Homo-oligomer: A and B are copies of this chain.
Amino acid sequence: MENIKLNIEKTLDFIAKDKLASYEEKVRACMETLEKGTGLGNDFLGWLHLPSSITKEHLADLKAAAQTLRENCEVVVVAGIGGSYLGARAVIEALSDSFAWLKEKKAGNPTIIFAGHNISEDYLYELTTFLKDKKFGVINISKSGTTTETALAFRLLKKQCEEQRGKETARKVIVAVTDAKKGAARTTADKEGYTSFIIPDNVGGRFSVLTPVGLLPIAVAGYDIEKLVAGACEMEKVCANGNLHENPSALYAATRNELYREGKKIEILVNFHPKLHYFMEWWKQLFGESEGKDHKGIYPSSVDFTTDLHSMGQWIQQGERSIFETVVSIETPNHELHFPSDEENLDGLNFLAGKRIDEVNKMAELGTQLAHVDGGVPNLHVSVPTLNEYYLGELIYFFEKACGISGYLLEVNPFNQPGVEAYKKNMFALLNKPGYEKESEAIQARLKK
């Protein structure tokens, strides 16, 4: 079976070839630091050999829990934020029918809804209203159980589920994905007797899609988590290669770091396949949160082409030359549709008649690559044979490993996120959370100025 492939040829006009060669040794050193666990953030390296350590029994447990939810729910609300949200959503949306939401769902194949990822009163009002006549279940994903967004939604949803379906059924259709021992979500799960799964201590949120955090919702949505893990396993092997040009993760990490040094401050992740939209959001967290610190880091951005060629395309073609693009390209679509001929040909499109739609899309992709490279935008290209669980697994591990290496090349700790606490601390102070009395006083004084 073919693997995903990285092509950096269209960056070579922008970076000196010997520059890239100079990364050979650096990359090998970063990989060794990861393997030996001797670098910054070494408490959070559980993702590194996660794929190959997942057992059949673990997957069977996840599938059994998923099956219970599938059989007993018309709707399953996945409550989580950040790393407890984006991985599952990325995979589910990539694999779902574009119009799945418009199709009637029922117990057996429930609709997946995401919540606990915002504090929007309208969103939560409309969610609880929508759920009023639904047989719904909840997956509560939170390491601590006190992340405001998720805890807030979960309190509302637990109450509603118990009221609508009775305490006993609620216990069956609420599942917790949380810490093994501590925290509010663990306490609640144990007390209520929920089925629960563990978020390992050594896997950070943005690297957690192959833990139950991602695997359970993906299984509930009806997708094959064994294949997903198998793809990740394959990449775990491929990306262990110490040779820069035989290891796509290493090559990607080196290339983007060199581009960054050359003044390319923004990386735009590109798809020509709208279902990858949330995969790009997952990628933005992975790289943004890992590298955006110490006043450093490439700014991660993303576009859905050709849609956004008609919005961001102008900027990309002719704006500041501070960007590069990484295209995630799907070689073969899952469906086949040929463009029909038309006798009158008023739209002048008969030159496309008989072609597959994807052939046009691919020429848009190639045409865009050439145009943007001509315009001064280096282009990396990740080729994916087709969009299924296996290759999403490959993509996930490819980017995770690349991120670990890339962060070490940049000389930051890629596994912490100290900056995320700043707004929370202010918010708690403003809301007079117990324990924040001093901060409350200070912030109120500041606001009065």
Contacts and interface: CB of A to CB of B under 8 A. Distances in A.
Interface of A: 81-83, 85-86, 97-99, 101-104, 111, 113, 117-128, 130, 145-146, 148-149, 151-152, 154-156, 159, 184-185, 187-188, 191, 205-206, 265-266, 272-275, 281, 284-285, 288-289, 291-297, 299-301, 304-307, 309-323, 333-337, 339-340, 342, 346-349, 351-352, 355-361, 363-364, 366-368, 370-372, 374-375, 387, 417-420, 422-434, 443, 446
Given A351-B431, A363-B431, 18 more contacts: A82-B310, A86-B311, A98-B122, A99-B130, A121-B337, A122-B335, A145-B347, A152-B360, A155-B339, A184-B348, A266-B299, A281-B311, A284-B312, A288-B311, A289-B311, A295-B320, A296-B319, A313-B420
Contact of A319 (B299, B322, B323): B299
A189 to B, nearest CB: 10
B364 A427 contact: yes
A99 B121 contact: no
Nearest to A287: B315
A288 B301 contact: no
A367 B430 contact: yes
Nearest to A338: B121
A185 to B, nearest CB: 8
Q: Which of A117, A159, A285, A310 is packed against the most chain B CB atoms within 10 Å?
A: A310
A297 B312 CA distance: 12
A349 B152 contact: yes
17 contacts: A86-B311, A98-B126, A119-B360, A122-B387, A124-B337, A125-B336, A128-B337, A146-B347, A188-B347, A288-B315, A289-B313, A292-B319, A299-B299, A317-B422, A355-B431, A364-B423, A367-B428
Contacts of A299: 266, 299, 301, 315, 319-320, 322-323
Nearest to A318: B419
Contact of A318 (B265, B294, B307, B434): B294
Contact of A423 (B304, B307, B309): B309
A369 B167 CA distance: 41
A300 B146 CA distance: 33
Number of copies: 2
Given A310-B81, A335-B122, A430-B367, A295 B319 contact: yes
A279 to B, nearest CB: 13
Contact of A146 (B206, B348, B422, B432): B348
Given A111-B102, A126-B99, A315-B292, A427 B284 contact: no
A368 B423 contact: yes
A191 B306 CA distance: 30
A160 to B, nearest CB: 10
Contacts of A126: 97-99, 335
Given A98-B126, A272-B119, A314 B342 contact: no
Nearest to A417: B314
B432 A274 contact: no
Given A347-B151, A419-B375, A427-B363, A319 B335 contact: no
By Cβ-Cβ distance, the 4 closest A-B pairs, closest first, are: A292-B315, A82-B310, A367-B426, A317-B419
A363 B364 CA distance: 45
A335 to B, nearest CB: 4
Given A422-B374, A433-B351, A188 B360 contact: no
A82 B311 contact: yes
Contact of A124 (B102, B145, B205, B357): B357
Nearest to A312: B288
Given A102-B111, A265-B322, A272 B120 contact: yes
